[in-house]
Amino acid sequence: MKKYKVGILGATGTVGQRFIQLLEGHPQFEVTALAASDRSAGKPYAEACAWKLNGAIPESVRDITVQPIEPPLDCDLVFSSLPSSVARETEEAFARAGYPVISNSSSYRMDEDVPLLIAEINAEHLDLIDVQRQKRGFSKGFIVTNPNCAVVSFAPPLAAIHRKFGVESAIVTTMQAVSGAGYPGVSSMDIVDNVVPYIAGEEPKVETEAQKILGTFADGAIQKADFSVSAQCFRVNVLDGHTCSVRVNLKEQATLEDLVTAMKEFPSLGLHSSPKTFIEVMDEPNRPQPRVDRDAGDGMTITVGRVFPDTVFDYRFVSLSHNTVRGAAGSAILNAELLIDRRII
């Protein structure tokens, strides 16, 4: 199997560390370049990075010198986990320099010519890459993005429902882990013994991204799905794993069994990072829970529970996913595997 050399932009951060952990021993990728801010550039990775994940920093990257976030880097593609404040300019510079850019940042997610990809749901949106190259004058390079980490928790069950019965509208309440804010993130004085009903910039993302993901691609553009989402986003005292409470109105009638079957039968892809089960529906009345269920499918499975008819909407359910794995690095790696599988990389 061919090995591709990969670079990580924002390699010292919360998502950057998860990239390094997940890419260790990957059959298709070898980490050859790491980049971060001026604070880290010029230092060996092990010195620049305040490693927060279980286990030691992989030997293969400890001594790689961290570089500034500008091309060229010694790699075939880049994963980006940069703050949105710097991602827009930097990701464009890499794409223009000929690198495929697979990004976690919000900077390009809603641009009309940029795929906002959940590999299992909307792989056909990759056809936008040709449109993007033409429009922006990229030759070899391009940008593909992952959704917001809370959107990844509820978009898959919503997709399963939407495909079969049509979603009319949804109310989503998110309970988001502290690692979602990066490091050092929310002050312990703010989050211990507390729930914070505000995450800057989050509610508009949760209210708009799923419609693009579930949109249809035709004539070189995405026609967004025509349902509305109302969101409230909360930061909660959980380390990893975003939970969403969802209420949904359908366009067509469906039984509870229909709904659960649609979720359970949504296929996984069979790529290296694909979980065996994409959406796991749990029967226990007190699941899913972040501490217990976030690592399902090595962090790549979406767990869903408490699927019931609702007293105001048609149905309600709770969904959960690991925000730095399925919500960030794991999905980006899966997207890169899909791009290779489709011969786009």
Catalytic residues: 149, 242
116 binds ligand NAP, rule: CB under 6 A: no
Find all residues with CB under 8 Å of 163, minimum gap 6, and list them. 262
Identify which of 205, 214, 200, 206 has the alpha carbon closest to the alpha carbon of residue 171: 206
Least distance to ligand NAP from the beta carbon of 52, Å? 9
For ligand NAP, the nearest residue by Cβ is 13
Identify which of 333, 345, 258 has the alpha carbon closest to the alpha carbon of residue 81: 333
Q: Which is nearer to ligand NAP, 13 or 141 (CB)?
A: 13
Is the Cβ–Cβ distance between 113 and 222 less than 8 Å?
Answer: no
34 binds ligand NAP, rule: CB under 6 A: no
Q: Which stretch binds ligand NAP (CB under 6 A): 36-44, 118-126, 153-161, 332-340?
A: 36-44
- The rounded Cα 180 to chain-centroid distance in angstroms is 11
Q: What x-and-dash track marks residues 265-304 binding ligand NAP by CB under 6 A?
A: ----------------------------------------
Neighbours of 94 (CB within 10 A): 26
Least distance to ligand NAP from the beta carbon of 330, Å? 10
Q: Which is nearer to ligand NAP, 301 or 323 (CB)?
A: 323
Interatomic CA distance for residues 120 and 186, integer angstroms: 32
Length of the chain in residues, anyone? 345
Q: Which stretch binds ligand NAP (CB under 6 A): 23-31, 104-112, 128-136, 267-275?
A: 104-112
305 binds ligand NAP, rule: CB under 6 A: no
Is the Cβ–Cβ distance between 328 and 10 less than 8 Å?
Answer: no
149 binds ligand NAP, rule: CB under 6 A: yes
69 binds ligand NAP, rule: CB under 6 A: yes
Tokens for 304, please give them. Answer: 């869903």
Q: Which stretch binds ligand NAP (CB under 6 A): 77-85, 230-238, 262-270, 282-290?
A: 77-85
67 binds ligand NAP, rule: CB under 6 A: no
Identify which of 228, 106, 238, 232 has the alpha carbon closest to the alpha carbon of residue 174: 232
Tell me the CA end-to-end span of the chain in Å, nearest whole number: 14
179 binds ligand NAP, rule: CB under 6 A: yes
Q: Is 56 exposed, middle or buried (0-12, 13-18, 19+ CB in 10 A)?
A: exposed
- The rounded Cα 223 to chain-centroid distance in angstroms is 21
Q: Which stretch binds ligand NAP (CB under 6 A): 56-64, 99-107, 123-131, 295-303?
A: 99-107
Instruction: Determine the size of the site formed for ligand NAP (CB under 6 A).
Output: 30
Q: Which positions lie near ligand NAP, rule CB under 6 A?
A: 10-16, 36-37, 39-40, 69, 81-84, 86-87, 104-106, 149, 179-180, 182-183, 323-324, 327-328
